[in-house]
Chains A and B, each alone.
Chain A
Amino acid sequence: MSLLDPVLDLFRGKAVTIPPMDGALRPNTALDDGEVVTAALAPDNLAMLNGAPIYSSHREIRRIGHDHAVLETCPADVSAIAVGDDGTLAIGLDDGSLKLGGSMIEGFNCITALALHGGKLYVTNGSDHFRPSQWVSDLMHRNSAGSLWEVDVTSGQRRKLAGGLAFANGIAVDAANQRLIVSESWRHRLSSVPTSGGGVTEVLGRLPAYPARIVARPGGFVLALFAPLNRLVEFVLQEPQYRADMMREIDSRYWIAPTLSPPDSFLEPLQNGGVRSMGVHKPWSPTRSYGLVATLDARLQPVASYHSRANGRFHGVTSAMAVDGAILAAAKGGNHIIRVQAGEGTS
């Protein structure tokens, strides 16, 4: 790379490139081949409460089990949940309110992920301008208006640990290294922030999809990625005038933007493209939705992955976690919760 290249890029156009899904991220059909735990309406955030998995779905928090009991119903859509070691439940809502145990904490706009650890609640505020359900708008405006906060569970006092994040959308506590791992969706990367606050350092960059929630597992982490990077979308993101016209004139459902699920509409001819060759249906890009879960080692390097490809059903995975040697994944776009044995993906 010569010193001239940044200058030459002004004339030849900066390359818009998509990292390949290879190595540990090699595509497979593990999510589609996985066991369906339950059908659910837009299941979003998974967590463990008293040894049993729970999930959020619109305004409700439900337990996964034979009864799928509703544990709580909230006044607005639930945007994030977290459970502390003592069973304390923290709930973030789409309107920005945060409920911790019996008390409410104000001041957030876009709660996308929560983590409870050592008497602290860590909160990712995705954007200062949009609600969690308006994430597409935040992407199309190319905002970097996310932040990371620490809330004292006892006093309710909050402290900003980092700002300028490009849609902070997941958080995990790496207690051994006294740091927090934050997923920045619009920068397609995982960053680390010291628990004491301070600089943001990239720990895993150039992901081929938009990262969402991340949780710790024995020996590493589980990362959900909710939509794939797509050359067409990346191109649109380079064109401000086109984006402005698109946002002004076209229904947001038909924007050229990532989506959690294929909309099955003839108005969108590019979705679910594929060719049938020698009796085999081969999906091809561009697809705006995808299902992807990756397991990472302690150094945050991918070790295995589980996919639902362009022609699959379980797209838009926003949350995943390790339970009893298996991976539980909430496909918000696919309206199902899936269980995959840990060895069944690409490794």
Chain B
Amino acid sequence: MQPVIEMRKMTKAYRGVPAVKDVDFTLMKGEVHALLGENGAGKSTLTKIMAGVVEATSGEMLHNGQKVAFANPHEALQNGIAMVFQETSLVPSMTVAQNIYLGEEKFLNRLRGIYIAAQQFLQSLNFSVDPTASVATLGAAKRQMVEIARAVHHRADVIIFDEPTATLTPEEKRHFFALMRRLKASGVSIVFITHALEEALSHADRISILRDGELIETGPAAEFDRNKVVRAMVGRALTGEIYNRRREAADLRKRGRQILSVRDVSMGSMVRNNSFSIFEGQITGIFGLVGSGRTETFKIVSGIYKRDFLRGGEIEFDGRPVRYNVPVGAVRDGIVYVTEDRKLEGFFETMSIAENFYSGPLAADLTRSSVVSFAEMREIAADWSKRLDVKAITDNARVVELSGGNQQKVVIGKGLAQRPKLVIFDEPTRGVDVGAIAEIHRFINQLADEGLAVVVISSYLPEVMNLSDRILVCRQGRVVEEISPVEATEEKIMFAAVH
């Protein structure tokens, strides 16, 4: 059978450094092909070549047996190849319906007609998104849905999904996989990039694994298990190290001084009378479902959001009451918030790694002089790049050119360069591969060992259970239960989060 896509000896180099090297790849009709690998392994680059986003340095690509080289994504789309990007490519100022029909506008357009058609189309996909809503008002998950809907709408025969489920809730994921099965049944071929290995193992027909830009292994999904995938991805077994650590009472760090006391903090209907304490020398894990107010609470603590003006509660940091109107006060007091949305809030994407690192001490007023010192910047960047093992093609690479895991390390380094007393990690390993997860976990543990107060907000239960010295469970805008990791089970934590 002739493959829909065939790539031969595909190579793409940036400034002479290959991101993808001599990769052979085939995609059959009606196949779900999972592409796995660590951040920086070359998955996104390979699929971007497929979708005409970047041009290959060498190698050839055949589409239905015909040699092709797409100059841009529009050309690829016209040939039936669509890509759903990890970072959505929607126009924020336009409505959902307008985004779906973008590029198909007639000479005269009737908005009502577009909305009705979009409504029916979204319903057929089981996506509960209001077609009249402006994209700027949508959360990450709903934007992802619109992006997927747009690809499906273009009736592509090849759809590339880059981390489609990272921002979806469990319910939305079920709908997504049902949609993927429907697309597959109608003959659509799917390339599916994911960091959730279970998703690849249970939904893909074939799996290909890339490491350092090279194809390491490819074969039917049935021939893989989690350990085999991880070994191929990182060259060693890691899953046990990350998630299967048995916690004993003796393993838990002792509570240090109380550094943060949050008392009856409220913010609209998102945070309601939330009270808890954070102690030095410990990792406090925060678990809660989407909408439980976890992120919002810690954004209030770090001055990003403001608590209610009337009876908004009290926050005491390091023994004194605080009410930050802007984050700079919190930063100067020693609170660092490592955001869950690194692309939007975490870094300056067109600035270099060094400039990003240096922006931390600049914000915290910790620089040696009142003017920018390039020597100091280079010193700080070299120090943190080494400590966090940031892998970049060149030292002055822009952050946008880095892989997800390395971008996350830059965000973490930028925060830690501020010499904080309290570090809040919000979803620190979202969209990060297993190798980088292990490194980030080791680093978080090291911070707590050094005596810092560390908060880890995560939606991934094994992460919360393996990292935390105490677990706080949020529901409906407040902490409802504190559970020791020794007695914690996934069922117990989930029960507290739901009931």
Count residues of B near A (Cβ-Cβ below 8 Å). 28
Asked if A12 contacts B311 (CB within 8 A), the reply is yes
Once the chains are docked, how many angstroms separate the CA of A206 from the CA of B316? 11
Asked if B313 contacts A15 (CB within 8 A), the reply is yes
Name the residue on B nearest A13 (C-beta). Answer: B311
Name the residue on B nearest A25 (C-beta). Answer: B277
The B-contacting residues of A in range 1-51, CB under 8 angstroms, are 1-2, 5, 12-13, 15-20, 22-24, 26
The 8 A CB mask of B451-483 against A (1 = contact, 0 = none) is: 000000000000000000010100000010010
Asked if A19 contacts B499 (CB within 8 A), the reply is no
A277 at the interface (CB under 8 A from B): yes
Asked if A23 contacts B323 (CB within 8 A), the reply is no
B321 at the interface (CB under 8 A from A): yes
Contact pick for B322, options A1, A24, A206, A278, CB 8 Å: A1
The A-contacting residues of B in range 402-434, CB under 8 angstroms, are none
Name the residue on A nearest B262 (C-beta). Answer: A20
**Cβ–Cβ < 8 Å partners of A26 in chain B:** 482
Once the chains are docked, how many angstroms separate the CA of A113 from the CA of B279? 33
Asked if A22 contacts B313 (CB within 8 A), the reply is no
The B-contacting residues of A in range 269-288, CB under 8 angstroms, are 277-278, 280, 282
Once the chains are docked, how many angstroms separate the CA of A23 from the CA of B258? 9
Asked if A19 contacts B261 (CB within 8 A), the reply is yes
Asked if A16 contacts B482 (CB within 8 A), the reply is no
**Cβ–Cβ < 8 Å partners of B273 in chain A:** 231
Contact pick for A18, options B275, B495, B499, CB 8 Å: B275
B107 at the interface (CB under 8 A from A): no
Most interface-central of B264, B321, B325 (chain A CB within 10 A): B264
Once the chains are docked, how many angstroms separate the CA of A18 from the CA of B275? 8
Given A23-B258, A278-B499, A1 and B321 touching (CB < 8 A)? yes
Closest Cβ of chain A to B460, distance in Å, is: 23
Once the chains are docked, how many angstroms separate the CA of A19 from the CA of B311? 15
**Cβ–Cβ < 8 Å partners of A278 in chain B:** 495, 499
B1 at the interface (CB under 8 A from A): no
Given A12-B310, A23-B255, A26-B482, A17 and B321 touching (CB < 8 A)? no
The B-contacting residues of A in range 283-297, CB under 8 angstroms, are none
Once the chains are docked, how many angstroms separate the CA of A20 from the CA of B499? 20
Once the chains are docked, how many angstroms separate the CA of A23 from the CA of B276? 9
Once the chains are docked, how many angstroms separate the CA of A173 from the CA of B309? 44
Decide if the interface of chain A is mainly helix, strand, loop or mixed: loop
**Cβ–Cβ < 8 Å partners of A1 in chain B:** 320-323
B154 at the interface (CB under 8 A from A): no
Closest Cβ of chain A to B258, distance in Å, is: 7
Closest Cβ of chain B to A8, distance in Å, is: 8
The 8 A CB mask of B279-306 against A (1 = contact, 0 = none) is: 1000000000000000000000000000
Once the chains are docked, how many angstroms separate the CA of A26 from the CA of B484? 10
Asked if B309 contacts A12 (CB within 8 A), the reply is yes
**Cβ–Cβ < 8 Å partners of B262 in chain A:** 20
Given A1-B322, A13-B311, A26-B482, A19 and B275 touching (CB < 8 A)? yes
**Cβ–Cβ < 8 Å partners of B276 in chain A:** 20, 22
**Cβ–Cβ < 8 Å partners of A24 in chain B:** 255
Once the chains are docked, how many angstroms separate the CA of A2 from the CA of B255? 30
B263 at the interface (CB under 8 A from A): yes
**Cβ–Cβ < 8 Å partners of B277 in chain A:** 19-20, 22-23
**Cβ–Cβ < 8 Å partners of B482 in chain A:** 22, 26
B314 at the interface (CB under 8 A from A): yes
**Cβ–Cβ < 8 Å partners of A282 in chain B:** 499
Contact pick for B263, options A2, A17, A280, CB 8 Å: A17
**Cβ–Cβ < 8 Å partners of A2 in chain B:** 323, 325
Asked if B275 contacts A277 (CB within 8 A), the reply is no
Asked if A13 contacts B323 (CB within 8 A), the reply is no
Once the chains are docked, how many angstroms separate the CA of A206 from the CA of B320? 13
Asked if A16 contacts B499 (CB within 8 A), the reply is no
B18 at the interface (CB under 8 A from A): no
Contact pick for A17, options B310, B314, B470, CB 8 Å: B314
Once the chains are docked, how many angstroms separate the CA of A215 from the CA of B25? 75
Asked if B279 contacts A23 (CB within 8 A), the reply is yes
**Cβ–Cβ < 8 Å partners of B258 in chain A:** 23
Asked if A13 contacts B310 (CB within 8 A), the reply is yes
List 5 A-B pairs, Cβ < 8 Å.
A17-B263, A19-B277, A20-B275, A23-B279, A231-B273
Query: A2-B325, A22-B472, A277-B499 known; 18 other A-B pairs, CB under 8 Å?
Result: A1-B321, A5-B323, A12-B310, A15-B311, A15-B314, A17-B314, A19-B277, A20-B277, A20-B479, A22-B276, A22-B277, A22-B479, A23-B277, A23-B279, A24-B255, A26-B482, A231-B273, A278-B495
Residues of B participating in the A interface, judged by any CB pair closer than 8 Å: 255, 258, 261-264, 273, 275-277, 279, 309-314, 320-323, 325, 470, 472, 479, 482, 495, 499
Residues of A participating in the B interface, judged by any CB pair closer than 8 Å: 1-2, 5, 12-13, 15-20, 22-24, 26, 206, 231, 277-278, 280, 282
